[in-house]
C-alpha cells in the first residue's frame, strides 16, 4: 500500500493506493494522525480511495477513528473518491452518508 499526503491551502488530501488490511492499516493510521496532529489542523481532510481495491474492518475502524478526531479538531472529513467496491462497502455498513463529500 502507498499513502501520500498533499496540502493545498487549508485542505489536506490523503491518497491511498493498494489494499487496506490489518497489516497495512497502521501505515494509513500514521498518515492520518500526522495530518490531524498538525497545529492548526487543516480545515478539511479529504481521502482519495479510488485506487483501493480492498478494505477490511481494520481499515473501516481507521476511517472512523480519523473522522472522530477530525470532527473533534473542527476539521471536515470526507472521502472524495472511492472505488465501486468501497462505495458498496460504505453503503452496506451505513458509512456512505458519514463519509460523503
Residue 83 phi, psi (nearest 5): -70, 165
Query: Structure pTM?
Result: 0.93
Check residue 3 and give its pLDDT: 97
> Comparing C-alpha atoms, which of 29, 30, 23, 6 is closest to residue 80?
6
pLDDT of residue 82: 86
Structurally, at CATH architecture level, domain 2-99 sits in: 2-Layer Sandwich (3.30)
Q: What is the pLDDT of residues 31-86, one digit of tens each?
A: 999 999 999 999 999 999 999 999 999 999 999 999 999 999 999 999 988 888 89
Banded model confidence at residue 101, pLDDT cuts 50, 70, 90: low
Confidence bin at 100 (pLDDT 50/70/90): confident
Amino acid at each position: 500500500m502507498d499513502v501520500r499526503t498533499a496540502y493545498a491551502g487549508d485542505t489536506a488530501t490523503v491518497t491511498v493506493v493498494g489494499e487496506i488490511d490489518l497489516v497495512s492499516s497502521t501505515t494509513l493510521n500514521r498518515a492520518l494522525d500526522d495530518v490531524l496532529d498538525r497545529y492548526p489542523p487543516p480545515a478539511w481532510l479529504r481521502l482519495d480511495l479510488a485506487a483501493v481495491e480492498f478494505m477490511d474492518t481494520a481499515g473501516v475502524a481507521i476511517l472512523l477513528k480519523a473522522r472522530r478526531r477530525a470532527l473533534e479538531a473542527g476539521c471536515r472529513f470526507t472521502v472524495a473518491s472511492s472505488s465501486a467496491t468501497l462505495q458498496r462497502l460504505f453503503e452496506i455498513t451505513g458509512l456512505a452518508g458519514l463519509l460523503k463529500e
